[in-house]
C-alpha cells in the first residue's frame, strides 16, 4: 500500500521511490510427476531442499520418485516441483491429471516422470505416455521433457523408441537418455534395483544452467550419486544409436576411464537439423518465456509505429544481454540477431485482426560435438594443425 504524504504549502517537492525489481525466472526447474505415499494428489509442491520431500510426501515407499528427486538435488538442482499422481487408476489417467495440474505453472521448464518408465507394463504403453508428455510440452511452449528408456531395454529397443518418438510433432521438446543408473536406493528393499536417470539428468541441466547458462549443452559432466550403469555402452553402441544420417539421437550415459560416469550426448528427439541440440532448443524456449512474461504489457496498446518501436527496443535490450553472456553467436548485435516489427509485416489487414507481428531471428551457439585434430605428415615430420 502506498503512503500518501501531506505537504503544508503549495510548491514542488521531491520524493524518492525505489521500485522492486522484477524477479528473473530460473531455468533448470523441473516438475517431477510420480507416486508418493502421502500428500495432496495433482497439486504441485515446490521443493528447494531434498529434506523437504519427506515432510511433504512421507516415507520413500517403492516409487522411483524420491530417488529421482534426491538425484536431482545431488547433482546441482536448486528448485523442483513435485506432483503426486493418483494411485489405483490407469497410468494414462494419472498422467493426464498430473499434466493438467501443471499446465498453468510458468516457473518450470523441465518435465520428468521417472515412475512411467519404472511401472509401464510394456514398451507400447511407455511410448504412449511419453507421447503425451511431448504433446504437453509442445502445447505449453515453455518446457522440455527429459525421457527415460524402458527398464531392461536393449539397444534395439532404445533405437525403436527413439525412432518412434522422433516422428511426434513435439519431438523437438524432448530428449531420450539411456541406460538406467545404479544408485544406493533410499528404500533398502529396492537394493540392487536400477533407477531411471531423468532425475540425475535434470540436476545436471540445473547445474549447467547455473554455472554457464542454457546455451551450454548439458553433457560431459560427471554425475554424482551413481556407482554404476545398468548396461555398458561402447563407442560402437552409441554410433549405432546415433546414425550420422539422422539428426535425432539417444543421449547415452557412459563410464569413461578416469573421468567417471558422464552424459555423452546432447541431442533432442527431433529429426530437424535446426533443433538437433538440447541447448539450442532450450535457448529458444527461454526466449519465448521471457517474451511471454515481458511483452504482455503491450496487449491492448494502440497498434501503431510507437508500439512497434517499443517492442523492438525491449527485445533489443534483452537479446543484447544474451549476446553479452555468450548465449548467441556473433561479434555484434547485427550478427547475433535481428528484429523486425514494421508496417510491411503489420499490414492494415493484420492490424484489423488485432494482431501485431514481430519477426525475431537468433544465431544460437552450437556445441562442439566433434573435436577433429588433423595430423599432416610433412617433409620435416608430422605437423599438428
Q: What's residue 383's pLDDT?
A: 47
Domain ranges in the chain? 30-281, 300-385
In whole angstroms, give the CA distance from residue 94 to residue 156: 29
Q: What angle do CA 191, 261, 190 make, to 5 degrees?
A: 10
Could you tell me the three cell numbers for 244? Answer: 550420422
Taking Cα atoms as reference points, which of 222, 34, 230, 234 lies closest to residue 120?
Answer: 34
Q: What's residue 122's pLDDT?
A: 87
| Assigned CATH topology for domain 30-281 | Rossmann fold (3.40.50)
Question: Which of 84-98, 119-133, 367-381 is least confident?
Answer: 367-381
Average pLDDT over residues 263-279: 94
Q: Cα separations (Å) of 156 from 150, 181, 193, 280?
A: 12, 19, 22, 28
Q: What's residue 20's pLDDT?
A: 41
Residue 376 pLDDT exceeds 90 = no
* CA atoms within 13 Å, Cβ hemisphere of 11: 6
Q: Which parts of the chain fold into alpha helices (H)? A: 52-57, 65-74, 91-101, 114-119, 123-140, 155-165, 198-211, 235-241, 278-294, 305-324, 333-336, 348-352
DSSP 133-194: HHHHHHHHSS-EEEEEPPTT--HHHHHHHHHHHTTSTTGGGEEEEES-EE---SSGGGTT--
Q: CA 64, 65, 67, 68 torsion: positive or negative?
A: positive
Q: What are the backbone dihedrals phi and psi of residue 9, each rounded to the nearest 5 degrees, phi first?
A: -135, 155
Residue 319's pLDDT band, with cuts at 50, 70 and 90, is very high
Q: What percent of the chain has pLDDT over 90?
A: 83
Average pLDDT, the chain: 91
pTM for the full model? Answer: 0.90
Q: What's residue 12's pLDDT?
A: 75
Strand pairing class (144-148; 174-178) = parallel
Give residue-wise pLDDT tens across range 86-106: 999 999 999 999 999 999 999
Residue 77 pLDDT exceeds 50 = yes
Average pLDDT over residues 322-351: 94
Q: What are the backbone dihedrals phi and psi of residue 263, each rounded to the nearest 5 degrees, phi first?
A: -80, 125
Contacts of 168 (CB under 8 A, 6+ apart): 131, 134, 135, 269
In whole angstroms, give the CA distance from residue 114 to residue 93: 16
Question: Which of 19-23, 178-182, 258-262, 324-328 is least confident?
Answer: 19-23
Amino acid at each position: 500500500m502506498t503512503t500518501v504524504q501531506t505537504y503544508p504549502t503549495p510548491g514542488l517537492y521531491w520524493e524518492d521511490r525505489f521500485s522492486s525489481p522484477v524477479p528473473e525466472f530460473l531455468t533448470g526447474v523441473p516438475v517431477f510427476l510420480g507416486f508418493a505415499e502421502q500428500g495432496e494428489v495433482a497439486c504441485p509442491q515446490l521443493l528447494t531442499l531434498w529434506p523437504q520431500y519427506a515432510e511433504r510426501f512421507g516415507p520413500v515407499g517403492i516409487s522411483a520418485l524420491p530417488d529421482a528427486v534426491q538425484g536431482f538435488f545431488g547433482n546441482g538442482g536448486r528448485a523442483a516441483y513435485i506432483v503426486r499422481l493418483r494411485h489405483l487408476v490407469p497410468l494414462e489417467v494419472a498422467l493426464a491429471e498430473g499434466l493438467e495440474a501443471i499446465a498453468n505453472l510458468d516457473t518450470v521448464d523441465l518435465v520428468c516422470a521417472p515412475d512411467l518408465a519404472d511401472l509401464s507394463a510394456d514398451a507400447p504403453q511407455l511410448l504412449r505416455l511419453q507421447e503425451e508428455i511431448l504433446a504437453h510440452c509442445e502445447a505449453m511452449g515453455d518446457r522440455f521433457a527429459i525421457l527415460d528408456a524402458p527398464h531392461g531395454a536393449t539397444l534395439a529397443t532404445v533405437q525403436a523408441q527413439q525412432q518412434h518418438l522422433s516422428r511426434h510433432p513435439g519431438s523437438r521438446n524432448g530428449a531420450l537418455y539411456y541406460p538406467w543408473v545404479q544408485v544406493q536406493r533410499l528404500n533398502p528393499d529396492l537394493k540392487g534395483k536400477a533407477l531411471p536417470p531423468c532425475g540425475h539428468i535434470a540436476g545436471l541441466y540445473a547445474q549447467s544452467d547455473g554455472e554457464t547458462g542454457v546455451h551450454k549443452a548439458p553433457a560431459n559432466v560427471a554425475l554424482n550419486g551413481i556407482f554404476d550403469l545398468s548396461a555398458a555402452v561402447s563407442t560402437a553402441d552409441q554410433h549405432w544409436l546415433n546414425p550420422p544420417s539422422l539428426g535425432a539421437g539417444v543421449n547415452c550415459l557412459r563410464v569413461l576411464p578416469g573421468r567417471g560416469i558422464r552424459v555423452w550426448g546432447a541431442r533432442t528427439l527431433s529429426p530437424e537439423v535446426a533443433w538437433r541440440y538440447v541447448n539450442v532448443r532450450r535457448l529458444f524456449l527461454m526466449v519465448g518465456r521471457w517474451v511471454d512474461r515481458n511483452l504482455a504489457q503491450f496487449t491492448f496498446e494502440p497498434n501503431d509505429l510507437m508500439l512497434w518501436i517499443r517492442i523492438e527496443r525491449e527485445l533489443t535490450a534483452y537479446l543484447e544481454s544474451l549476446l553479452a553472456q555468450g548465449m548467441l553467436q556473433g561479434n555484434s548485435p547485427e550478427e547475433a540477431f535481428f528484429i523486425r516489427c514494421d508496417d510491411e509485416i503489420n499490414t492494415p489487414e493484420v492490424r484489423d485482426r488485432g494482431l501485431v507481428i514481430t519477426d525475431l531471428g537468433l544465431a544460437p551457439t552450437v556445441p562442439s560435438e566433434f573435436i577433429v585434430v588433423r595430423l599432416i605428415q610433412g617433409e620435416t615430420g608430422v605437423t599438428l594443425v
